[in-house]
């Protein structure tokens, strides 16, 4: 520790310095208030300050105490007082003194100084860490709420269709296991266009935390800006989003990117047009046969967004018959795994998603959505999903 020991007589000061100058401690000793004021003009850095409260009397000592606080605001102060003056310590403690020790005539208190100063430094650091963690929680929570504010709460579907969606953030544990709900990089949107067309979009920014959340907010803003423009097909829309995201450093700095699946359903024709930017294709569940299969090949996804400014993307078209369910999802659902297990073969996986869809054939759409989250979470054996998750589920009935 770097200790500033201020004392009121030289004889005791030598002993105090000797007892504190062990275990590689660096002790700076000052005698009297004038020495303190002289030293304050060229302040160093100290982990803790030891100060008698009567220097030479309590009022003068309090003035020195305030000067020390102004000069070394991050250094905790331990006071020393005579037994008869314990009541005076209240004034100091009320104004930020961290701890105190009672001086006895025999000087036995000096044997305790090392332990008292060490425990005070540890306690102050622990309190500051806790305050910092709380501030981090509050900042993350504010960003997370901003992110969730852009995710639709109520989804409307045309006659013959039902649709629902859900976003669930990931969690981490800090400071003895307290959960912190993280800001994340997942996103979904559902809205209608003219001519009875439904747009469904899911996106996932790389990484976690505030950078991922701000990347998704940037994409959301661009989607809102250009979704009313006319594009011949979904690939042109994705290409335009990609070009504009590539210019945003918040997205692609340090290798960042966003995967996205953008789909337009023609309600009257029963046809889905979709484009993937590094995202898994939609899954179709045929409720008549029970079969569940991806709508496109495994290599249907192009480059993620913001990787290359002139990347090309492909448009896929798929028939959407009656009596089906269509699932769009981010990889948080698929990649759920038990804690300490990172082998991809131990993930919930597409096989787990398909199993849940088949088992939920007779359930309502909302019950099926809930089952997907429940089964994926149960697969983690209590550790919870380590990535935020977005799901859009559509149903077409005869």
CATH of the domain at 101: 3.40.50.2300
Assess if residue 228 is contained within a domain: yes
Model confidence, pTM: 0.65
Q: What integer pLDDT is reported at residue 176 of this predicted model? A: 47
Indicate whether 107 and 175 sit together in one domain: no
Q: How confident is the model at residue 175 (pLDDT cuts 50, 70, 90)?
A: very low
Indicate whether 154 and 96 sit together in one domain: no
* Torsion sign over Cα 285, 290, 295, 296: positive
Indicate whether 223 and 91 sit together in one domain: no
Indicate whether 79 and 224 sit together in one domain: no
| Average pLDDT of the chain, as a whole number | 86
Find all residues with CB under 8 Å of 345, minimum gap 6, and list them.
none
- Higher-pLDDT residue of 37 and 134 is 37
Q: What integer pLDDT is reported at residue 156 of this predicted model? A: 83
Of 84-88, 92-96, 180-184, minimum mean pLDDT range: 180-184
Indicate whether 227 and 106 sit together in one domain: no
Instruction: Please give the structure tokens belonging to residue 1.
Output: 């520790």
Total domains in the fold of the chain: 2
CATH of the domain at 199: 3.60.40.10
Confirm if 204 and 390 have CB atoms less than 8 A apart: yes
Of 23-32, 36-45, 58-67, 136-145, minimum mean pLDDT range: 136-145
Provide the domain limits for residue 383: 150-396
Q: What integer pLDDT is reported at residue 164 of this predicted model? A: 95
In angstroms, the CA 85 to CA 54 distance is: 9
Indicate whether 253 and 368 sit together in one domain: yes
Of 25-34, 367-376, 377-386, minimum mean pLDDT range: 377-386
* pLDDT, average across residues 104-108: 89
Assess if residue 13 is contained within a domain: yes
Q: How far is CA 326 from the centre of its chain?
A: 31
Assess if residue 51 is contained within a domain: yes
pLDDT higher than 90, residue 229: no
pLDDT higher than 60, residue 343: no
pLDDT higher than 70, residue 203: yes
Confirm if 218 and 210 have CB atoms less than 8 A apart: no
Assess if residue 65 is contained within a domain: yes
Last residue of a domain, one of 93, 128, 163: 128
Q: How far is CA 73 from the centre of its chain?
A: 30
């Amino acid at each position: 520790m770097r200790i500033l020991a201020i004392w009121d007589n030289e004889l005791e000061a030598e002993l105090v310095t000797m007892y504190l100058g062990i275990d590689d401690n660096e002790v700076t000793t000052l005698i009297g208030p004038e020495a303190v004021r002289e030293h304050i003009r060229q302040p160093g850095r100290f982990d803790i300050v030891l100060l008698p409260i009567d220097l030479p009397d309590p009022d003068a000592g309090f003035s020195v105490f305030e000067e020390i606080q102004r000069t070394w605001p991050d250094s905790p102060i331990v006071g020393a007082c005579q037994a008869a003056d314990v009541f005076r310590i209240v004034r100091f403690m009320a104004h930020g003194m961290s701890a105190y020790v009672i001086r006895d005539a025999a000087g036995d208190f000096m044997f305790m100084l090392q332990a008292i100063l060490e425990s005070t430094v540890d306690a102050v650091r622990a309190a500051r860490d806790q305050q910092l963690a709380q501030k981090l929680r509050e900042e993350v929570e504010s960003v997370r709420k901003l992110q969730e504010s852009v995710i639709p709460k109520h989804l409307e579907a045309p006659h013959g269709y039902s649709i629902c969606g859900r976003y669930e953030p990931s969690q981490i544990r800090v400071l003895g296991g307290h959960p912190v709900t993280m800001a994340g990089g997942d996103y979904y949107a559902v809205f209608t266009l003219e001519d009875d067309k439904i747009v469904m979009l899911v996106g996932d920014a790389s990484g976690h935390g505030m950078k991922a959340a701000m990347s998704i907010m940037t994409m959301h803003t661009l989607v809102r800006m250009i979704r009313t423009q006319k594009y011949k097909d979904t690939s042109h829309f994705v290409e335009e989003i990609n070009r504009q995201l590539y210019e945003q450093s918040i997205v692609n700095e340090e290798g960042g990117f966003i995967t996205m699946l953008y789909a337009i359903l023609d309600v009257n024709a029963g046809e889905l047009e979709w484009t993937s930017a590094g995202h898994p294709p939609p899954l179709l569940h045929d409720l008549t046969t029970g079969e569940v299969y991806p709508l496109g090949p495994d290599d249907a996804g192009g480059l993620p967004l913001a990787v290359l400014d002139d990347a090309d993307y492909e448009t896929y078209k798929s028939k959407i018959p009656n009596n089906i369910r269509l699932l769009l999802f981010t990889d948080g659902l698929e990649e759920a795994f038990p804690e300490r297990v990172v082998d991809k073969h131990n993930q919930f996986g597409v096989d787990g998603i398909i199993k849940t869809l088949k088992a939920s054939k007779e359930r309502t759409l909302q019950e099926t959505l809930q089952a997907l989250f429940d089964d994926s979470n149960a697969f983690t054996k209590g550790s919870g999903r380590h990535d935020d998750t977005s799901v859009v589920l559509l149903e077409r009935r005869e």
